[in-house]
Each structure stands twice: as C-alpha cells, then as structure tokens.
Chain A
Amino acid sequence: MPAQRGMRVEDEARQETPSPPPVVVVTFLAALLGGIAGAMASGVMAWIAIGAVACGGAYFASRASAPRKSMVDVARPRRLLLLLDRGGSAESKVPPEFAGDWATLYERVSRLAHDARSNAAPGSELDQFRKHADLAASLLRDGKDPLAEAPELRAGPLQSLLEGMRSSGSLPVVSRMRLGEEELIGEDGDTLPPDWPKPSGEETARPPGDINAFESGLKELIREIEALRTTLAGGPNGEGTAARDDAALRTPAQLVDAVVLTAADGIEDLAAGLMRANELASVAERVTNRATLLALNAALEATRSGSEAFAAIAEETRRLAEFAREATDTISRLSSEIEYKVGETITAIHATSEDAKTSLAELGGSAVAVPTSARSARVQVVRLLDRSRELLKCLGISTPRQPAENPPSAKDRNSTPDIVENGPPPADNATVAEGMLLIEGLKPGAHLES
C-alpha cells in the first residue's frame, strides 16, 4: 500500500514538471551542423569547425538527458514515503519545498498516514479494544471506576459501555465475584482476605431499575426456598412426595410395617425351628414306641417263662420306655404350646401394627420421618438463606423479623428446629434463626415494598 501510494505521487510530480529535450534530436542537429560546416569550409579550419559543432551538440545532448529539475522531484516523493512510514499527524505543517499542489498532496498523505496509524487497520483496532478491555477489567477487579481512573477509556470504544454500566449500577459484578470466591473458600466469610471489598452502606441508594432487577431475582430465590422447604416438610398433605419417591424416606406407617415384617420374619424363623423340633420329637416318639414294644415283649417273655430275674429286667425296661414316652409327650406338648403362642404373637403383632397405623392416620400423618440424606438439602436451605439476606442488604432493606403478634404455626414450629438441629453447625445461631424467619415471614411483595 505505501509503495503504490508513492508511485502515484511520483507520477503526479512527473506530470507537473516539463520533460527534458530528447538526446536523439540534439545529436541529429549537431551532426547536421557539422556536415554543413564541412561542406562550406575546407582544410584544418573546416575540421576544427566540425569538431566544435559536434562537441557543442554532445554537450547540449548530455544536458538535455539529465536535467537538474528531476532531482527535486525524487526528493519530494521520498519525503512523502517517509511520512507514510513514520505516520502523519492530524495537524501537520507543510514544508517550504512543497508548494502548490505538492502542499495539497503533502497534507493528504499526512492525513492518510495519521488515519492508517490510528484506526484504519482492523487488527490494530482490535488490539486497541483488547487493551482497553483489559484495562477496564483490571480496574473493575480492583473495585475502581474505569472511567475515572483511565482517561483513554473515556475516548475509547468502551466508553459507552462503561458509562452504561456505571449508570445502571451493575458494578455489583464485583459483589457477585465475591460470592463465587466465597463458595470456593468456604462457608465462613471470615476466611476472606481482609482487603476484600465489602458491601458498603452507600450501595443502599440504588436507582429504581436496580431495585426491580434485584426484586425479581429475590422473588425467584424465595420461590425456590419455599419449594425446597415444602419438600422437606413433607408436602401440603402431610405425605412427602419425596418420601414416596425416595426409598430412604419412610413414613411412620411404613416404618411400622418394616418393624412388623422384621418381627414376623424372626418369628417365622422361630416357627420353622419349632417345626424341625416337632419332627425330631416325632422321631423320638418312634424310638419310644419301639422301646415300649421291646419292654412289652420282654415282659411277655418273662411272664410266659415265669423267670423273676427276667421279669425284673423287663420291668425296668418297661419303666425306662415309659419314662421316655413321658418325656417325648412332654416335648411334643411344649412344642405345640410354643407353636400356638408363636401364632398368637404373630397375630398380635399384625393387630398392633394396624392399630399403630390407624393411630398415625388419626394424628394426621404430619410427622414425617426425616432421613439422613435430607441433611444436604437443609444445608442448601441455609446457604440460600444467606444469599437472600445478602440480596436484601444489597437492596438496602433490613432483614424482616417475625411479628410478635403473629406466632409461627404448629407446622412451622415442627419444621424450624428440625432444620436448625440437623443442619451444619452455623457460625451464628441468630443468623440461622434469622434466615428461618426470613423464609417463614417473608412476603415478597410486602417486605420489598417496605
């Protein structure tokens, strides 16, 4: 681009200056004058005259081929090219050697060079925009106003953007970054660096558009908190939807069923053991019968033979068999009694479980077991409360308190301590209680309007 521009300037300069006399014409005229002098004179004087005419013609030819004025035309374009390379200026002074049209050309080249250096190229424009953006970002990160700290930003392409950001109060982007850092560092805000920017009281003066934006965000946050609290409380009908979905969440009736099933399983195992004992008792009964038969046969033989000794042995055998029979009968009777009592116990357990479920149903089923897995949800509730409180501070609204004349309902009394008890240990109990009051007492419209 600069070379083409320099060639055009050189052509214009060549058109402005007169062209030198052609060397061929001068040489031809010198040769013609030498021939005429040779024809008119003769001898040494004639040759001297021809030589003088030829030398004169050659001198004029050399003068015509290298005129002095062209040296001036090369210097001007060179000056112009140098101007393009170094870059021009918006208000440049025309040198004295550029006069007339050259002065006009010099001014144009100077403006072009200035424009090309300032914002003509897209790459340079992008680099400048990037520099301005980096500068603005660093100033915003330090909590400073970019328009006040960097004068070049007031004239740069980011001027309108920064002015709009300052007027709309979107500087809390620093505050949002702080919240993200807080999540990374931990729940305790005291672990933040001491020089970390804190929300100040002057943020309370916000334009109406700012308050509306925060109000909408706060309403959405409150809706989410209410939905989460409803889920933790077991739903409006007292039966938690999550309890039905999650196997870990069980209602008291389900817990009663589980206990009854466990007890019934154990008792059924006991009954199975009793059945096995009955089988063994029947085996013992058979053995006893055989012993009885043996004793009877021995007694029969003793009676038939009339032997007293044999009769005595047969009598002992009969007593032993009778004792075994009594023991077997006792075992069988006890086993039957235990089996009967086990059956009665199973029936009583089922009846008791039904009574317990009926009683729970009469109580309204408001008591929903809170499993261990719900603790994470409670932690989320506490975090959401903290964020909502920070949003309220950003809005300049004091944290709403529960009115003394409007005590919490029984459902609220049940749910609030539960969450406080099972949640993570808060840094300040008053903060958590305040957050719970925020959940229960926050009527978005009323408090935001106040």
Chain B
Amino acid sequence: MNLGTRGALTFRLGDYSFAVRVEEAGGILDAERLAQLPGVAEPIAGVAAFRGEMVPVVDLAAYLGIEVPIGPGHRYALVLFRGMDRFAILVPEIPRLVSGRDLREAPPAPDPELGQLLESVLENDQDHFHCLNYWRIFESIIPAAGASGGSRASMDRGY
C-alpha cells in the first residue's frame, strides 16, 4: 500500500497522537528557550532559529484546545516547510520517526473536534495517528498576504 510517504514523525498531545509526514518536516530543534513576540495571539509561542532563519512556533495544543500537563521536561519544535515557507509546531516530546513500511492508511473517521483540519489517519500496530493540515492551521493564525486568514481559520475550525 502506497501511502505517498517514506515515513512520519509522530507525537502525542493529550489523548491524541499526531503525525507529520517526513516530506513536510524540515527538522526538529530544541524549543527550551523561545523568543517571545509582543502583541501576538496565544497560539504563537514565539520564534526560534532554525538553520539560520527565524521561524514562528505555533502551540498546537493551545490552538486545538488540548490540555497538556506542563512538566519539567523540554519542549521541542517540529519544523514544517512548504517551498520557502517554514513554521514550527510546539510538541512536548521528541517525535518518533516511524518508517513508512510500518504505517498504513486507516479508514477516515469524522472527528468533530478536529473538523476539517484532519487530512488523514495513519496507523501502525500500536496506535492511530492523525495527520492534520498544519499549513491551514498556520494560515488561520497568520494570514497570508492579501487573504482574510482570520475568517478562513474560523471557517476551517467550524466556527
């Protein structure tokens, strides 16, 4: 079964397990010290330096309304790229790289919590992984130039 990916980086937020395809992932960095930006919305945790560029870091748990217990451990930022654009999502643990050979496509099940943000669901022998449209989430927070991102984000989340 061809999933169209060589693998995925998986991580957990609360009771959900999420996955990011390796074709979208640019890298992982330590987000222990993020630079805070004044006057930005809550989902934006700050900015981080990745390979000489400054990328915004989005708190996915805060955006999705998932409560994550705040522990003493580190936080990490999973960088996604699309073309020349990059942004990072904040994850509470080091993502695990799961080979595409171990993943398979799960039958899509509608999730009212995730709404239209859910693209697909991957699974292996242990767990199911939700693949979201992360760029849509980012553009709902920070609209692209000339677009009404706010209204689109609200629409995507079903608000």
Chain B residues near A293 (CB-CB < 8 A): 28-30, 76, 94
Residues of A within 8 A of B97 (CB): 296, 299-300, 303
Q: Residues of A contacting B94 with CB < 8 Å?
A: 289, 292-293, 296
Task: Give bound CA distance, A303 to B96, whole Å.
Answer: 13
Does any Cβ of B come within 8 Å of A176's Cβ?
A: no
In the complex the two chains form, what is the Cα distance from A371 to B25 in whole Å? Answer: 78
> B99 near A: Cβ within 8 Å?
yes
Are A304 and B22 interface neighbours, CB within 8 A? yes
Q: Do A300 and B30 have beta carbons less than 8 Å apart?
A: no
In the complex, whether A306 has a CB less than 8 A from a CB of chain B is: yes
B117 to chain A, nearest CB (A): 23
Selected A-B contacts with CB under 8 Å, 27 pairs: A289-B30, A289-B94, A290-B30, A292-B94, A293-B28, A293-B29, A293-B30, A296-B28, A296-B94, A296-B95, A296-B97, A297-B27, A299-B97, A300-B9, A300-B22, A300-B27, A300-B28, A300-B97, A303-B6, A303-B7, A303-B22, A303-B97, A303-B99, A304-B6, A304-B22, A304-B25, A306-B6
Closest residue to B95 on the A side, CB-wise?
A296
- A374: shortest Cβ distance to chain B, in Å? 59
Which chain A positions have C-beta within 8 A of B29? 293
Q: Which chain A residues lie closer than 8 Å to B22 at the CB level?
A: 300, 303-304
Closest CB-CB distance, A413 to chain B, in whole Å?
65
Per the bound structure, the CA–CA distance linking A289 and B9 in Å amounts to 17
Contact of B23 among A289, A297, A304 (CB under 8 A): A304
Within 8 Å CB of B74, what residues of A? Answer: 289
A299 to B, closest residue via Cβ: B97
9 more contacts with CB within 8 A, not counting A289-B94, A304-B25, are A289-B30, A292-B94, A293-B29, A293-B94, A296-B28, A300-B22, A300-B25, A303-B6, A304-B23
Q: Please give me the residue from chain B that is nearest to A295 by CB atom.
A: B97
Shortest CB-to-CB span from A306 to chain B, Å, is 7
Cα of A300 to Cα of B99 in the assembled complex, Å: 10
Instruction: Give bound CA distance, A306 to B22, whole Å.
Output: 11
Distance between Cα atoms of A297 and B76 in the complex (Å):
12
Q: Which residue of B lies closest to A306 (CB)?
A: B6
When each residue 264-298 of chain A gets 1 if its CB lies under 8 Å from chain B and 0 otherwise, what string results? 00000000000000000000000001101100110
Nearest-Cβ distance from residue B99 to partner chain A, whole angstroms: 7
Q: How far is the CB of B88 from chain A (nearest CB, A)?
A: 13
Separation of A268 and B154 alpha carbons in the complex (Å): 59
Q: How far is the CA of A304 from the CA of B25 in the complex (A)?
A: 9
**Cα distance A293–B7 in the bound complex, in angstroms:** 17
Q: Please list the 6 inter-chain residue pairs (A to B) with the smallest Cβ-Cβ separation, ordered nearest first.
A: A303-B7, A303-B6, A303-B22, A304-B22, A297-B27, A299-B97
Inter-chain contacts of B23 with A (CB < 8 A): 304
**Contact partners of A300 in chain B: CB under 8 A:** 9, 22, 25, 27-28, 97
Provide the residues of chain A in CB contact with B6, threshold 8 Å. Answer: 303-304, 306
CA distance A296 to B97 in the complex (A): 7
Find chain A residues with CB under 8 A from B99 CB. 303
Interface residues as binary, B24-65 with A (CB distance below 8 Å gives 1, 0 otherwise): 010111100000000000000000000000000000000000
Tell me the complex Cα distance, A153–B37, Å: 123
Give chain B residues whose Cβ lies under 8 Å from the Cβ of A290.
30
CA distance A300 to B27 in the complex (A): 7
Which residues on A sit within 8 Å (CB–CB) of B28? 293, 296-297, 300
CA distance A300 to B74 in the complex (A): 20
Interface hits, A298-344 → B, CB 8 Å:
299-300, 303-304, 306
With a CB–CB cut-off of 8 A, which chain B residues contact A296? Answer: 28, 94-95, 97
CB neighbours of B30 from chain A (8 A): 289-290, 293
Q: Residues of B contacting A299 with CB < 8 Å?
A: 97
Q: Give the CA-CA distance A292 to B30 in the complex, in Å.
A: 11
CB neighbours of A289 from chain B (8 A): 30, 74, 94
CB distance from A298 to the nearest CB of B (A): 10
Instruction: Give A72 to B18 CA distance when docked, in angstroms.
Output: 167
Min CB–CB distance B53 → chain A (angstroms): 15
Q: A296 to B91: give the CA distance in the assembly, Å.
A: 15
* Chain A min CB distance to B137 (Å): 21
Beta-carbon contacts of B14-25 to A below 8 Å, as 1s and 0s?
000000001101
